A and B are shown apart, each in its own frame.
Chain A
Amino acid sequence: MYYFSELYRRKVETEGGYYVGRLVDIVFLQEDTPKITRILVQNGQKNILSIPLSAVRKINHEITINKSFNFSPALPNEITIAKHLLDKQIIDLIGNKIVRVNDVLIQNNPFFYVSGIDISLRGIARRLGVCFIPDFLNNFFKLNLALKLLSWGDIQNLELATGFVKLRKREEKLSRLRTEDLADYLEKTNIKNAGKFLKSFDDKKAAEIIADLNLNYQSALFMDFKPETASKFLSLIDPDEAVDVLYALPFKRREQIISLLSEEKRQELEYLMSFTTTPVGNLMTSQYLAVSSNQTAKDVIGKIKRDTVDYSFLAAIYVLNDEKQLVGVFSPHELLLQNPETPVFKFMIQNPIVAHLSTPVEIIVKKLLKYRISSIPIVGKNKKMLGIVTIDDISDFVLNHVGWL
């Protein structure tokens, strides 16, 4: 992940070390996935060179590009970061001014795209080259100058040409930058840097990012945290995720963290931990893919490629709303039949078959066989998704209980 301000005016050289110019703008597609197509480089004669992204070799202290490349022409639906996005006013649905685009985030994995917008004071400090000021204020005055990021998905990208950045939703409902993206970024850095990175967010946001990390990284992080920090974040993340984390930690560490939790929180977590002793709780896995109903088929396919590399099983994709309630399901087969731009809600099956933690395993087996499904979602109170039980998970149970096999 890069900030535009970090790349702006960075030196561009060819592989042989020949100076080309300085990066002055980045061109991207005005689409739901704002893929970056070109970089604009100003050379010594003040001419602007349009260099295709494919020519960019690596980004270090300098940006290195291929020795030979073709200047790429402009496409009709291209806009640029510096001209159309940076410093623009962000307005809400009814035109009220909200904040400004202080910096732009660029994700480089799996490809280069504009992933979000920095709307915080930190963005301004970064551009003025005085990053230490917010850190200083945070540390010495306990002012919480957190990093605030807005996700690309929250912006009406077609409105960008009007000179304003218009939001998709009501301001209070903004998801900000997808925590999954930040988690991806975090998983690539070492634990020490991760702690620092998380500090630049407020606690709630940091907890959301932690919740989106994979379990290995989570447990490594909770081993590295001070016990107080660990218990603080543990009480902020979803209880079922907290339970997973706790089970991934060594016994001594687990007891230490639990002892620092508030009485109420401890009871809640211990209650949830007791589920793991119920039969369904034991069988349940949290390894399932969840998407939101307004994502497109293309988004989902991208997500499968990105997020399910280490999945052992993927028979169904679950659709959750903002409250993590289960609202639909579809199979990878149905997904592949769709046009890339079709939104999930158009083809998902509503009212999926579900089971509860208290459902006896026999009933779950019957449901799986009766409806010919390979996995069944387990929901808790208010239809909140807890996990899934897959046909793989119950095969041992079936083998043990069906005598004639």
Chain B
Amino acid sequence: MLNLVNGQLFRLRDKIFLSFPFLQRIAIFFAVFGPATITAMADNDASGVATYSIAGAKLGYPILFVLLVITPLLAITQEMGVRLTVITKKGLGDLIRENFGVRTSFLIFTSLLFANLATITVDLTAIKTASSLLNLPTFPFILVMLITIVFFVIKGGYKLTQNIMLISSLFYLTYVFSAFRAKPDWNLALSNLFVPHSIQFNGEYLRNFLFIGLGVIGTTITPWGQFFISSFAFDKKIAASRIKFAQIETYVGAFLTNFFSFFMVVATAATLFVNGIPLATGEQAALAIKPFAGEMAGVLFAVGILNAGFMGVVIVSLSTAYAFSEFFGLSGSLDRSFTQNRGFYIIFLFQLAVAAIISLFPQASLFKLAVTAQVINAIMLPLVFKYLIHFTSSKNIMGNFVNSDFKRRFAKIATVIIIAASIAAILSAILGG
């Protein structure tokens, strides 16, 4: 019944994973890293691309500081998730349900559903943005994409998955090349990684920095990503003796995610921020890759954001449906018919329907919603971290693989900072708005 372990999400990941050896050079390079690469790719969905672009365009290089700080946090929390699963042979959702019961599970699942709905909505508005960049009619385009998504999840072509991942990596690479060709002030970019400077830190800038910074945290370290990586590790059936490799992989993955994010921010900062261009439309966002793509920038951005949006919708909506099954232990394999897996399908389709309706409103713009959605994700993070830290610090659960003092303290302090930043952002939104 609930044969989710072999379910579609895992098959999808396996396909993604398996597909790498068939790709060209870059892909072969990625294949070595396995799960880490997948997470890196999945983390940079369309809402991620939009958030980093906004961060670069609106705040310039100083936001790179946040990126540097959250890279170890991402690495540590992802590593906790992998270690937790390798040792306990259970997912994060499983452990929460088994140790804290139905009510807590319900609370966390509801928050996850809400945060994921926000992310999926943004990914769908990215598809909408792509349609307007390509001059295609919005409503039919989104409808066709939704049908494609459902079809993809159910039938999931091996070749197609492979191509989607290829397009993603190529798309992210265009930012790397663009960043170089835009000739940014590298000194400024690199020094801002460590200390934010060379900008007038007035009240409004700081308020934006707080809010967008929180959004950057939320899109880099996602609540769904915590569930995703722990289920991924479960599926790979990594032996406890080989945990070192898995740990190194998560560190590499964290680095890779933020490697791409770094160049996205630099590329947008060097093109939009430096020239004082606000970011509100797809055309403007495409300017960031113009140094590399030239006149093709608009089309390339449209295809890239469409692809990233598609991937985001598929993975995030499946990860909610999967977490639902983990928490509530209801049947949840796509191999089974509708009646046997109602819960799984209802959650999956419900998210798509709600997100589609919201994204179809004319006011719903990718660049208006992206940061807000990611702030919602960031606000939810401490809740997930609380349980992640609790389990990985418990000698009963982890035995000899319990957290080191450094990791536990680092994660705890980060959690407190995120809570404080969330409260500050909410307050400033209320008072300042």
Contact = CB atoms under 8 A, between A and B. Distances in A.
Contact of A87 (B5, B97, B330, B343): B97
B329 A89 contact: yes
B353 interface: no
A102 B106 CA distance: 13
A97 B103 contact: no
Contacts of A31: none
Given A90-B329, A128-B106, A97 B5 contact: yes
Contacts of A86: 101
Contact of A128 (B3, B6, B99, B102): B102
Interface string B210-248: 000000000000000000000000000000000000000
A89 B2 CA distance: 10
Given A97-B329, A99-B331, A100-B328, A87 B102 contact: yes
A98 B1 contact: yes
Contacts of A163: 90, 98
B97 A100 contact: yes
Nearest to A144: B339
B2 A124 contact: no
A88 interface: yes
Contacts of B106: 124, 128
A127 B97 CA distance: 13
Nearest to B102: A127
B99, B101, B106 pick with most chain A CB within 10 angstroms: B101
A119 B1 CA distance: 12
B329 A96 contact: no
Nearest to B331: A99
B94 to A, nearest CB: 6
Contacts of B90: 89, 163
Interface string A96-126: 1111111000000000000000010100100
B4 interface: yes
Interface residues of A, number: 19
Contacts of B102: 87, 102, 124, 127-128
A334 interface: no
Contacts of A100: 97, 328-330
Interface string A55-89: 00000000000000000000000000000001111
A131 B72 CA distance: 45
A42 to B, nearest CB: 15
A22 to B, nearest CB: 15
A189 B415 CA distance: 53
A127 B103 contact: yes
Contact of B1 (A99, A101, A127, A128): A99
A97 B3 contact: yes
Interface string B77-116: 0000000000000100010011101110010000000000
A37 B247 CA distance: 45
A159 interface: no
Nearest to B342: A143
Contacts of B94: 89
A171 interface: yes
Contacts of B343: 121
B2 A97 contact: yes
A90 B90 CA distance: 13
Contact of B6 (A90, A96, A127): A96
Given A99-B330, A99-B331, A87 B98 contact: yes
A128 B103 contact: yes
Contacts of B4: 97
A127 B101 contact: yes
Contacts of A99: 1-2, 329-331
A171 B3 CA distance: 11
B419 to A, nearest CB: 27
A171 B330 CA distance: 14
Contacts of A102: 102, 328-329
A89 B329 CA distance: 7
Contact of B101 (A87, A89, A98, A171): A87
Interface in A161-203: 163, 171
Contact of B98 (A88, A124, A127, A128): A88
Contacts of A89: 90, 94, 98, 329
Contacts of B6: 96
B3 A96 contact: yes
Nearest to B329: A100
A87 B101 CA distance: 7
Interface string B1-23: 11111100000000000000000
Contacts of A97: 2-5, 329
B328 A124 contact: yes
Contacts of B331: 98-99
Nearest to B1: A98
A155 to B, nearest CB: 15
Given A88-B98, A121-B330, A98 B2 contact: yes
A127 to B, nearest CB: 4
A87 B330 CA distance: 12
Interface string A137-168: 00000000000000000000000000100000
A89 B98 CA distance: 8
B90, B99, B329 pick with most chain A CB within 10 angstroms: B329
A127 B327 CA distance: 14
Contacts of B99: 87
Nearest to A121: B330
Contacts of B103: 127-128
A96, A97, A99, A101 pick with most chain B CB within 10 angstroms: A97
A188 to B, nearest CB: 29
Nearest to A103: B102
Contacts of B328: 100, 102, 121, 124
Interface string B114-127: 00000000000000
Nearest to B343: A121
A97 B90 CA distance: 11
Contacts of A119: 329
19 contacts: A89-B98, A90-B329, A96-B6, A97-B5, A98-B1, A98-B2, A98-B329, A99-B1, A100-B97, A100-B328, A100-B330, A101-B329, A102-B328, A121-B328, A127-B101, A127-B102, A128-B102, A128-B106, A163-B98
Top 7 closest pairs, chain A to chain B, by CB: A100-B329, A127-B102, A99-B329, A87-B98, A96-B3, A98-B1, A98-B2
Given A87-B97, A99-B331, A124-B102, 10 more contacts: A89-B90, A89-B94, A89-B98, A96-B5, A98-B1, A102-B328, A102-B329, A121-B328, A121-B343, A124-B328
